[in-house]
């Protein structure tokens, strides 16, 4: 499989901005042709720290991620090679022992809050999309997600938001919006933008079928 046969789409934006909703709506249209690479799975392993120490780490800065490994995996997928993607367990704030076997497909979606911050990573993307949502809406969504799906307490979610999520968003995530080809307000609920992106994907699949 050659590079030109693969379309790499990056979806960035703040925490709980609607990236996943947009991604799911795109995948629903062509699921068998899409491989997803999530930056969240590339959080660094911290076996040397206790759970309490890991829970106090800053997970919203670039150094929290093993982005060089993600760059290598994306480059491998673009050249037609399968990879073993790490799995991150949010309940224990550490990597799982499991991996996900990913096969190269004609569309690769790369998703994460800081994927545009790293030049080497963003240069591997053909289309860069930034999902833009109001800060209050993102906070409400984050509380609901982290309490219901990740077993977090309301107090810990709010504390993390105030200490790292909000300041890191302002320092790293928001400035990376300038690297986007397309800024999409409200993510997957933006039907006009969704139709445009799906049309582009369909054209790619038709031209490289």
In the chain, the domains with their CATH numbers are 3-203 (3.40.50.300)
Report pTM.
0.89
Question: Are 111 and 19 contacting, i.e. CB atoms less than 8 angstroms apart?
Answer: yes
| Alpha-carbon gap, residue 35 to 33, rounded angstroms | 7
Mean pLDDT score across all residues of the chain? 90
pLDDT for res 177: 95
Helix ranges, the chain (H): 19-29, 51-55, 67-78, 119-122, 135-149, 154-160, 166-168, 191-207
Phi-psi region of 131 (alpha: psi -120 to 50; beta: other; left: phi over 0): beta
Mean pLDDT of 57-86: 95
| Alpha-carbon gap, residue 115 to 11, rounded angstroms | 8
pLDDT for res 3: 63
């Amino acid at each position: 499989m050659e590079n030109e046969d693969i379309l790499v789409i990056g979806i960035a934006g703040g925490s709980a901005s609607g990236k996943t909703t947009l991604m799911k709506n795109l995948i629903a249209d062509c699921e068998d042709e899409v491989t997803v690479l999530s930056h969240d799975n590339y959080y660094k392993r911290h076996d040397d720290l206790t759970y309490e120490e890991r829970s106090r780490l800053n997970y919203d800065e670039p150094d929290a991620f093993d982005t060089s490994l993600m760059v290598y995996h994306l480059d491998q997928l673009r050249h037609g090679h399968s990879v073993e993607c790490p799995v991150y367990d949010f309940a224990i704030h550490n990597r799982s022992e499991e991996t996900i076997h990913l096969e190269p497909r004609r569309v690769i979606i790369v998703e994460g809050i800081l994927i545009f911050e790293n030049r080497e990573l963003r240069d591997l993307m053909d289309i860069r999309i930034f999902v833009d949502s109001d800060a209050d809406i993102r906070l409400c969504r984050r509380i609901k997600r982290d309490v219901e799906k990740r077993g977090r307490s309301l107090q810990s979610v709010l504390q993390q938001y105030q200490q790292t999520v909000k300041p890191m968003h302002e320092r790293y995530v928001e400035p990376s919006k300038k690297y986007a080809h397309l800024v999409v307000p409200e993510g997957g609920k933006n039907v006009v933008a969704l139709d445009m992106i799906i049309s582009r994907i369909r054209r790619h699949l038709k031209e490289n079928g």
